[in-house]
Amino acid sequence: MTTPADALQAVSVHHAETLLFFTLLQLAIIILAARAGGILAVRWGQSSAVGEIITGILLGPSLFGWAMPEVFDYVFHSAPPEPMQILSQVGLLLLMFQIGLEFDFGHLNERKHRRTVMWVAGAGLLTPFALGFGLGWTVPAMQVPGNSALLTGLFIATAFSITALPILGRIMIEFQLTRSPLGVIAISAAAINDVIGWLLLALVSTLAVSHFQPLAFGLKIAMVLGFFALCWWGVRPLAKRMVRAARPRRGRFPPTLMGALLALIFVAGMSTYQLGIFAIFGGFMMGVILHDEPGLREAWNTRVGHFVTVFFLPIFFTYTGLRTDIGSLDSLEAWGWCVLVVGLATLGKFGGSWLAARRCGLGHHEASILGIMMNTRALMELVVINVGYDLGVISQEVFTMLVIMAIASTVVTTPCLRWWLPRIGHRLPAAVRE
């Protein structure tokens, strides 16, 4: 005789199997589509990351949902989205550790590099912020009727100010810039820029819900700085001792060390989340504190790195693409405003970073390389604009304009690097040559 408990268990098992089926279906489509998009992007002279980003957008309502709505609903709306959300965030956390691990921050021991980082980070934040704020605060077409123009301006300003740290890092890895002075300056400036950007996002979000407390916000900044200090002077010596005892190298990654590192990355992500900034910064910080362990870097890239970029990252791109609808821009006037958004965002980020680099003594081509790398926004800024959209301070049209701006600023990065890098004597890797 079947009891109610048995029936409930059967229903639960069936639900779990159904959820697994649709999750596996989504993963199979995402991974294959991302690989195809990455290969096509490389053939067209772009970074593979750019192809994967655009593929993620096309798998959403902008193309797949528009062309085959019934199939789209079956694939992506037949099961809850939570499994894909979690997988995308875990993958991003691991990628940030990988990016932090790749960089040689020893270049910052030179005074001129520290000075350049601070100038580029400051100008790359303040200039686009000012332009974005002016656009959102003064132009009625950018505003939501009945809502605060001040908040709209602040959200657009924050979106203009963001640099896509994970995608920038991945593009720089492909161009073999990770251990060069310019690469370290760019990623350091972008990291500083983004930490401040996320704090601005927290501030503006708090203002939007009318619960802003200056003392609490100041305390949050102090806690973030304290976390970074604890990681560098407290966690770093212990982590390095653990790594050196395990002696990882290419082809050898002891399971105990891998498990301990994964736990450390996850705890760091939990910590930065609790501090009010995104979990990815915890992963990045763990990579930074171990960047000078070449054996660990080789072991990670050999055993884990490719799986992260092939499996986890496309999930993040596609999940974000599911929330984006390019078709919302349905008039010539709307596309005109979109062009203005892209132009001002580029002028602010590229122009501000270029001027700061020139002031610090860099040549035109070096300053241009820093400017174009700082202008790389990709999909990280969708975090900002999704918050603004959910709070009702930016419209659907403005949301779409900012998505297009993020993609455009990323698409131009690879051809510009290919043009400028040889002019400073940097040999292009075979994989990114024309």
pLDDT tens readout for residues 309-358: 888 888 877 877 777 777 777 778 888 989 999 999 999 999 999 999 99
Same structural domain, 366 and 290: yes
Question: Does residue 111 sit within a domain?
Answer: yes
Burial of 401: CB neighbours in 10 Å, binned 0-12, 13-18, 19+: buried
Same structural domain, 69 and 109: no
Concatenated DSSP letters of 74-115: HHHSSS-SHHHHHHHHHHHHHHHHHHHHH--GGGGGSHHHHH
Q: Which residue has the tokens 């894909």?
A: 84
Same structural domain, 101 and 56: no
Range of the domain at 109: 82-432
Same structural domain, 259 and 125: yes
CB 112 within 8 A of CB 360: yes
Q: Which residue has the tokens 């939501």?
A: 144
Question: Does residue 307 sit within a domain?
Answer: yes
Question: Does residue 4 sit within a domain?
Answer: no
Burial of 31: CB neighbours in 10 Å, binned 0-12, 13-18, 19+: middle
Question: Does residue 291 sit within a domain?
Answer: yes
Single pTM value for the model: 0.74
Highest mean pLDDT among 69-83, 253-267, 366-380, 406-420: 253-267
CA 369 to chain centroid, in Å, comes to 19
Burial of 17: CB neighbours in 10 Å, binned 0-12, 13-18, 19+: exposed
Same structural domain, 138 and 176: yes
Of 76, 96, 117, at which residue does a domain stop? 76
Amino acid at 70: E
Percentage of the chain lying above the pLDDT 70 cut = 88
**CATH code, 151:** 1.20.1530.20
Question: Does residue 366 sit within a domain?
Answer: yes
Domain count, the chain: 2
Residue 210 scores a pLDDT above 60: no
Tokens of 334: 């709307």
Give the pLDDT band of residue 82 (cuts 50, 70, 90).
confident
Same structural domain, 243 and 313: yes
Question: Does residue 132 sit within a domain?
Answer: yes
Same structural domain, 130 and 48: no
Of 56, 76, 96, at which residue does a domain stop? 76
pLDDT in tens, 219-236: 777 887 888 899 999 999
Of 41, 58, 76, at which residue does a domain stop? 76
Question: Does residue 3 sit within a domain?
Answer: no
The CA distance from 227 to 379, in Å, is 26
Give the pLDDT band of residue 4 (cuts 50, 70, 90).
low
What's the chain's length in residues?
Answer: 434
The CA distance from 114 to 370, in Å, is 14
Q: Which residue has the tokens 């270029």?
A: 354
Question: Does residue 217 sit within a domain?
Answer: yes
The CA distance from 298 to 164, in Å, is 25
The helix/strand count (H/E) of the chain reads as: 22, 0
